[in-house]
Amino acid sequence: MNRLISTYNWQHKNWPSFDYNTEVVSEITPMISNYIGEMSGIMQSLTDKDQTETLIRLITTEAISTSAIEGEILNKQDLMSSIKNNLGVNTKAESVKDKKAKAIAELMISVRNEYSNKLTITSIKKWHKLLFLNSQAINAGKWRSGKEPMQVVSGRIGKEIVHFEAPPSERVAKEMKLFTEWYNAYKITDNMTNAIVKSAITHLYFESIHPFEDGNGRIGRAIAEKCFSQSLGRPVYLSLSSIIERNKKQYYLALKEAQGSLHINNWIVYFANIILQSQKEAIRTAQFALKKIIFLNNHALNLNEREQKVVNKMLEAGWDGFEGGMTAKKYMKITKSSKATATRDLQHLTELGVFNSKGNGRNIHYELTI
């Protein structure tokens, strides 16, 4: 195998004393602060119900994205049901068939609920156990073991390229003890700047140890989000993974560079931008919730029961929009109505300004004007 890095960060004599300058985020820090303030203002303008719905959407996005980074596809409906169950939204628990969706939802809620707690070996192992509770192939809640090196590898068999190799398994327990001690001893002075820097280092530090045989990315990103919320003293609405997942190649390149040295200014800048973009996305989600309230207030009284059902179904899709738009065929299926009724209702919704029609003939479909 060929190694792309001659010496990994944990092999340096000064490990784990990272070298960085907090000034590298001096320009981005006020932008993140402004976005967090804007998000807080929007959330306060929402009803409790819509605040909860926004939170569910953000956690769902994070759970889907953090799993997608690792190549796993989750059932979105099962995921949302599990999140609602864990948040106590449902008076009666909804059935969840996708065990992976159930596991990641429990992890997300547990980490969020415990954002203010000290980070401990017990809590990290507990979260890993939650993630792999239903897996027979993974030693859930156990550090990796064995003599085989833990490597991040690409390329064909026989021509593999090693991007990173983590510390040997026998070092993991000691490294994780030092990691949690560092985390809990890191004092936040300049609130936002240090919150950004600490979260960036937390993720890099954890991923460099790679303590588990699987699930390191998902646990590491969850801990980074906990770190950011804990540093600011309140749960922050963000989904780091949704931004990372859009450009996984850039994420792995930034991680690989940072894991080859103790000089991590570039990594901190990269991670700060991930936080910034994540806040923008959170605001967009919250703004949709606000627009939805106004939209329904303007139109609800003019809609019949079938129309209300379809509009609510489309609004559930969020600002991404209802995939493929609404068609007469979909309308008939959702409302169990005839083609004539569906056509009449769709025309009525268009006349009211609820729908915009797109395309012609058989290709015609409708989108919400929101």
pLDDT reported for residue 5: 60
Residue 294 lies in a domain: no
Residue 293 lies in a domain: no
State whether 206 and 346 are in the same domain. Answer: no
pLDDT reported for residue 336: 94
pLDDT reported for residue 76: 85
Residue 61 lies in a domain: yes
Q: For residue 246, give every residue at least 6 positions away whose Cβ sits within 8 Å of its Cβ, in sequence order, or none.
A: none
Instruction: Output DSSP code: residue 214.
Output: S
- Owning domain of residue 356: 303-368
The domain that holds 354 is classified in CATH as 1.10.10.10
Q: Is the pLDDT of residue 44 over 80?
A: yes
The domain boundary, picked from 254, 288, 322, lies at: 288
pLDDT reported for residue 315: 84
Lowest model confidence (mean pLDDT) among 9-18, 143-152, 335-344: 143-152
Q: Is the pLDDT of residue 4 over 70?
A: no
Whole-prediction pTM: 0.86
State whether 309 and 278 are in the same domain. Answer: no
State whether 282 and 310 are in the same domain. Answer: no
State whether 183 and 247 are in the same domain. Answer: yes
The domain that holds 123 is classified in CATH as 1.10.3290.10
pLDDT band at 24 (very low <50, low <70, confident <90, very high): very high
* Residue in the structure block whose two tokens are 């929007």: 42
71-119 pLDDT, tens digit each? 888 888 888 889 988 888 877 878 888 888 888 999 999 999 999 999 9
Lowest model confidence (mean pLDDT) among 124-128, 149-153, 194-198, 253-257: 149-153
| Pairs from 289-296 (Cβ < 8 Å, separation ≥ 24) | 289/46, 289/50, 289/51, 289/53, 289/54, 289/57, 290/42, 290/45, 290/46, 290/50, 291/370, 292/50, 292/370, 293/46, 293/47, 293/50, 295/368, 295/369, 295/370
Instruction: Please state, for a pLDDT cut of 70, what percent of the chain lies above it.
Output: 96
Q: For residue 272, give every residue at least 6 positions away whose Cβ sits within 8 Å of its Cβ, in sequence order, or none.
A: 25, 28, 29, 32, 196, 200
Query: Which is more confidently placed, 173 or 289?
Result: 173
Instruction: Output DSSP code: residue 321.
Output: -
pLDDT band at 243 (very low <50, low <70, confident <90, very high): very high
SS3 2: strand
Domain count for the chain: 2
Q: For residue 16, give every residue at least 6 positions away whose Cβ sits within 8 Å of its Cβ, in sequence order, or none.
A: 9, 10, 178, 179, 182, 205, 208
